[in-house]
Structure 1
Amino acid sequence: MIWLTWRQFRTQAAVLFAAVAVLAAALAVTGPHLSDLHRTAGSSLVDQVSGSDQTLYYSGLLAVLAVPAVIGMFWGAPLIARELETGTHYLAWNQGVTRTRWLAAKLGLGAAASMTAAGLTSLAVSWWSSPIDRAVDGGGATDTYFARLDPVAFAARGVVPMAHAAFAFVLGVALGLVIRRTLPAMATTFALYAAVQIAVPTWIRAHLAATDRTTVPIEPGGAPLSIQDGAKEIVAHLEEVPGAWVTSQQTLNAAGQPAAVPSSFADCLRTESGPPALDQVERCFADLGSLGYRQQVTYQPAGNFWVLQWVETGLYLGLALALTGFCVRWIRRRVT
């Protein structure tokens, strides 16, 4: 069964592993230069990265993020849906192979290959990007590169991509079992996987490890502040906590209670034409601070990176195991 399963999806596997090899070769050629540059430049590395390396940085991010989705769509969804669609599963079942063994061979080999492909991609990209990651987490001021805890970069670093790939693969298999049509199963797999990838960093990841909290005074010369939503919201930027992921923040009044930004602040910023001048903004912030307003910021510190990595890995592997149990139950009772 293992050999038969391998023959059925070896073409897809060969294409993906070849693409991973090409990416790894490109990273291996340019990576040592980036490490040498970091040793001499330190956190200022972010200002010295070449345009080609910047392109490779973003290409690596996209590659790691794309691998699990590709695996779910092109490995997982068709693996069983195609056999159910064409009826070839009867051939295996009529030769003394039980349904559970048939399914286990497909899930086992596919999940192992999926985690290997995602793990190799993540390893290569994480190694190449590590000088930039260390520079950013060490205080390198940049709007170009992501801290490792940033929701975009986090999913493309460490061990989490392996769990994402396992989940995407089993999700595709489960949807293929239920839908029994290859193309609809592929489309549904992509949609559901994308939805989960949005939901987890938006509502779940921030609660997987203990957060830190700080209160920032609203005053000129303090923490950098910006204005959003027509002066109805204030955002504090924690430059003194490099690499942190700000999960939430709110404005507090003089009593220490969450409060909306008073309308007097927007009135202070109003001008007859054009945006307010910098000195006017600073004066308005000073007036707001004199009323006792301050900004409370909740964040995940950079040191929580590996805690969040392992907890999220366990979460996705748990989902993959739950879907595996669903597949076993479904194929025993529903597939005929």
Structure 2
Amino acid sequence: MIWLTWRQFRTQAAVLFAAVAVLAATLAVSGPRLADLYRTAGSGLVDQVSRADQTLYYTGLLVVLAVPAVIGMFWGAPLIARELETGTHHLAWNQGVTRTRWLATKLGLGAAASMTAAGLTSLAVSWWSSPIDRAVNGGGATDTYFPRLDPVAFAARGVVPMAHAAFAFVLGVALGLVIRRTLPAMATTFALYAAVQIAVPTWVRPHLAAPDRTTVPIEPDGAPISVQDEAGQIIAHLDEVPGAWITSQQTLDAAGQPAPVPSSFPDCLRTESGPPTLQQFEGCIADLGALGYQQQVTYQPAGNFWALQWAETGLHLGLALALTGFCAWWIRRRVT
């Protein structure tokens, strides 16, 4: 049964593992040079990375983020949906193989291969990117590169991609069982996986580890301040906390209570000739500071990286196990 399952998706596996090998070989060429550059430049590395390495940095991010989605669509969704669609599952069950064993073999082998592929990809990219990550966490410029805790980079580092791949694979299998048609199952797998990847960093991940809070003054000489929109929403940037991920913030009045900025503030930022000059902007900020307004910032410090990694890994593996239980129930009760 294991050999039969492997033969059914060995082509897809060979293609993906070959792509991972090519990526790893490419990264291995420039990785040592990047590490040597960090040893000499420290956090200044981010200003010395070549355009080619910058392209590799973003390519690595995209590849690690894409691997779980590809696995869910092209490994998970068709694995059982194709057999249900063509009716070949009846042949396997008539050979003395129980439904439970048939499902367990497919899920076990597929999940192991999925986690291996995602783990090797993440290992290669995390190793190559580690000098840049350390430079950013050490205070290097973040306008070009992401801190490791940033939602984009976080899902492409450490052990989380392995859990994402396991979840995506089992999600695809579950949807294939329910939908019983390959192409609709593939499309639905991609849509639901993408929705989870948006929902988790937005609403779940900020609460997986205890955050820190700080209150910064709204004044020209305080923390860097910007205005997000015409409504006058204040945004503080914590340059003094390198590598931090700001999860939320709110404006406080002089009494320390959450409050909107005065209604006159947006008007202060408008001029007849267009956006205010730097001097006009700083004048508006100084006026708010004089009224006692402050900005309370909630953030995850860089030191919480591994706590968040293991917590999210457990979350996605738990979801994968729950979907595995659902698959076992569905194939015994609903598949004929």
TM-score by length of 2: 0.99
Once the two structures are superposed, the pairs formed by residues 239-318 of structure 1 within 5 Å of their partners are 239-318=239-318
AA matched with 1:315: L
**Aligned residue for 2:207?**
207
Q: 1:232 & 1:112 partners in 2: Cα distance?
A: 50
Q: 1:64 & 1:25 partners in 2: Cα distance?
A: 15
Per-residue CA deviations over 1:24-70 (Å, capped at 9, x if unaligned) read: 00000110000000000000100000000000000000000000000
AA matched with 2:121: T
Is 1:113 paired with 2:104?
no
CA distance 1:282–1:231, shift in 2 (3 Å):
farther
Q: 1:240 & 1:231 partners in 2: Cα distance?
A: 27
Q: 2:59 & 2:202 partners in 1: Cα distance?
A: 23
Is 1:65 paired with 2:65?
yes
How far did 1:235 drift?
0.3
Q: 2:201 & 2:228 partners in 1: Cα distance?
A: 22
Per-residue CA deviations over 1:140-196 (Å, capped at 9, x if unaligned) read: 023010000000000000000000000000000000000000000000000000000
Q: 1:267 & 1:310 partners in 2: Cα distance?
A: 47
Once the two structures are superposed, the pairs formed by residues 1-336 of structure 1 within 5 Å of their partners are 1-336=1-336
How far did 1:300 drift?
0.2
Q: 1:97 & 1:288 partners in 2: Cα distance?
A: 73
Give the 3-state SS of the residue equivalent to 1:4 in structure 2: helix
Q: 1:270 & 1:318 partners in 2: Cα distance?
A: 51
Q: 2:264 & 2:296 partners in 1: Cα distance?
A: 20
The structure 1 segments of at least 4 consecutive aligned residues displaced by more than 4 Å after TM superposition are none
Q: 1:81 & 1:98 partners in 2: Cα distance?
A: 18
Give the 3-state SS of the residue equivalent to 1:118 in structure 2: helix
How far did 1:268 drift?
2.4
Give the 3-state SS of the residue equivalent to 1:215 in structure 2: strand
How far did 1:271 drift?
1.8
Q: 2:278 & 2:317 partners in 1: Cα distance?
A: 50
> 262-271 vs 212-221, which deviates more?
262-271
AA matched with 1:29: V
How far did 1:198 drift?
0.4
Give the 3-state SS of the residue equivalent to 2:251 in structure 1: strand
AA matched with 1:118: A
Q: 1:319 & 1:147 partners in 2: Cα distance?
A: 27
How far did 1:254 drift?
0.9
Structure 2: tracts of 5 or more residues without a match? none
Q: 1:284 & 1:175 partners in 2: Cα distance?
A: 54
Q: 2:90 & 2:203 partners in 1: Cα distance?
A: 43
How far did 1:270 drift?
2.6
The percent of aligned pairs where both chains have the same amino acid is 88
CA distance 1:334–1:231, shift in 2 (3 Å):
closer
Q: 2:190 & 2:272 partners in 1: Cα distance?
A: 50
AA matched with 2:296: Q
Give the 3-state SS of the residue equivalent to 1:258 in structure 2: coil
Q: 2:285 & 2:322 partners in 1: Cα distance?
A: 52
Q: 2:191 & 2:275 partners in 1: Cα distance?
A: 41
Give the 3-state SS of the residue equivalent to 1:92 in structure 2: helix
How far did 1:301 drift?
0.2
Aligned residues, how many? Answer: 336
Give the 3-state SS of the residue equivalent to 1:270 in structure 2: coil
Per-residue CA deviations over 1:169-228 (Å, capped at 9, x if unaligned) read: 000000000000000000000000000000000110000000000000011111100012
AA matched with 1:112: A
Q: 1:21 & 1:126 partners in 2: Cα distance?
A: 15
Q: 2:190 & 2:231 partners in 1: Cα distance?
A: 38
Q: 1:66 & 1:120 partners in 2: Cα distance?
A: 14
Q: 1:311 & 1:23 partners in 2: Cα distance?
A: 28
Q: 2:128 & 2:260 partners in 1: Cα distance?
A: 44
Give the 3-state SS of the residue equivalent to 2:326 in structure 1: helix
